Structure 1
Amino acid sequence: MKVSSTEVQNNFGKYLVLAAKEDIIITRNGMEIAILSAIRDAVSDGGPVPGAVMEKAEEYGYGIRKASYEEFLELTRDSEERYEYIDGEIYLLSSPKTVHQTALTELFGIFYNWFQGKECIPLVAPYDITLKRNPENINIVQPDIMVICDLAEKLDENDYYKGVPAIVVEILSQSTRSKDLIKKLDLYMSCGVGEYWVVNPINREVAVYLFEDKNIIKNITYRKSEIAHSFIFKGLSAELDRIFK
């Protein structure tokens, strides 16, 4: 697919999703200048897994191996490690760095205070969220922050939440951009999440995506000293200067 640089700049989230499926050739004044493509290499049992995504282990996590949902549950049942399971791939989540945790603490504080006395409740990782693209494609993720509006109705007999959050927040690490900006964006959009916040401490940016009918309806990227705003919760906002101290 070929698109202009202006089109990519104006609809970056859309083309990140499309890049997971095919290479995007970016043009300027009719000339090809860049390619936007997914990372497709990973490690499993010491060797490469075709079509999988690799993240640097020291930064956040990495694709370990492909597995069925049942195999994932068995492999992680008695483990004290944190894992995510996305489209048949297992990811080990390693300890985040200070800049990640500082942004997480500040943003969760803003969310926690704003939702006091309201129907919805913000929760913070580690907390498993189960999302189904279809009955056969079951995924388990641990977003950094999630806003849940049906907690009491969607708890199972083991006290695990089985619904879909209204808002999901992911805070990027240097090596997780491909997973959070492509695989997770597509997963959240496809499974009924209403709004997705991507917090980038590296560039001091916050991108907010509004999803509807499995599409990106609106998206805004806030920079520098701007204030990020929620689309679906009017009045919910976060000063970037506070998030990125």
Structure 2
Amino acid sequence: QPDLCVICDEEKIDERGAFGAPDLVIEILSLGNSKKEMKYKFDLYEEAGVLEYWIVNPADKTILIYALKDNQFTGLHPLIEEDQIKSPLFPQLDFILEEIFS
């Protein structure tokens, strides 16, 4: 289960919940996350066809963003506190990273 997901297609949502791949998945790391778990989730989301995947690390105040291209995630430049985030999938989602860590 991701920490946060965005599903734009209303047909993927019914009274029981959501089905199919979300458009955007955001995972927020904690001390309990293992490398094995993170690798598993990366592969799972990629195979499912998630279009954009963010890994948020509150400990070092960074975000890694992956965008699906030709059925494989492509990593974008790692973002640090003073960087501006602009989602490839949602261009209107545009903010300075430190805004979410303050």
Range class of TM-score, shorter chain = 0.7 to 0.9
Distance of aligned partners of 1:154 and 1:216 in 2 relative to their CA distance in 1, 3 Å threshold: closer
Q: Residues of 1 paired with 2:84 and 2:31: CA distance?
A: 23
Q: Residues of 2 paired with 1:238 and 1:144: CA distance?
A: 20
RMSD, aligned α-carbons: 1.7
Q: Residues of 2 paired with 1:239 and 1:177: CA distance?
A: 28
Which of 51, 56, 71 matches 1:199? 56
- List per-residue Cα deviations over 1:18-47 (Å, max 9, x = no partner): xxxxxxxxxxxxxxxxxxxxxxxxxxxxxx
Match of 1:176 in 2: 33
Distance of aligned partners of 1:239 and 1:184 in 2 relative to their CA distance in 1, 3 Å threshold: same
Greater than 4 Å deviation, 4+ residue runs:
none
Q: Residues of 2 paired with 1:177 and 1:225: CA distance?
A: 27
1:191·1:214 contact (CA, 8 Å) conserved in 2?
no
- List per-residue Cα deviations over 1:185-218 (Å, max 9, x = no partner): 1110111000001100011101110012331234
Structure 2 residue ranges without an equivalent (≥5): none
Match of 1:146 in 2: 5
Q: How many residues align?
A: 101
Which protein is bigger by CA-based radius of gyration? 1
- Normalising by structure 2, we get a TM-score of 0.86
Q: How does 1:36-75 map to 2 (within 5 A)?
A: none
Instruction: State yes or no: 1:160 paired with 2:10.
Output: no
Q: How does 1:207-226 map to 2 (within 5 A)?
A: 207-226=64-83
Q: Residues of 2 paired with 1:232 and 1:167: CA distance?
A: 8
- Normalising by structure 1, we get a TM-score of 0.38
Matched AA of 2:16: D
Q: Residues of 2 paired with 1:229 and 1:244: CA distance?
A: 16
Greater RCO between the two (CA within 8 Å, min separation 6)?
Answer: 2
Q: Residues of 2 paired with 1:242 and 1:155: CA distance?
A: 30
Instruction: State yes or no: 1:232 paired with 2:89.
Output: yes
Match of 1:9 in 2: none
1:228·1:239 contact (CA, 8 Å) conserved in 2?
yes
Q: Residues of 1 paired with 2:48 and 2:3: CA distance?
A: 18
Distance of aligned partners of 1:167 and 1:219 in 2 relative to their CA distance in 1, 3 Å threshold: same
> Percent of aligned positions with the same letter in both sequences?
36
- List per-residue Cα deviations over 1:155-183 (Å, max 9, x = no partner): 35x52211211100000002315123x11
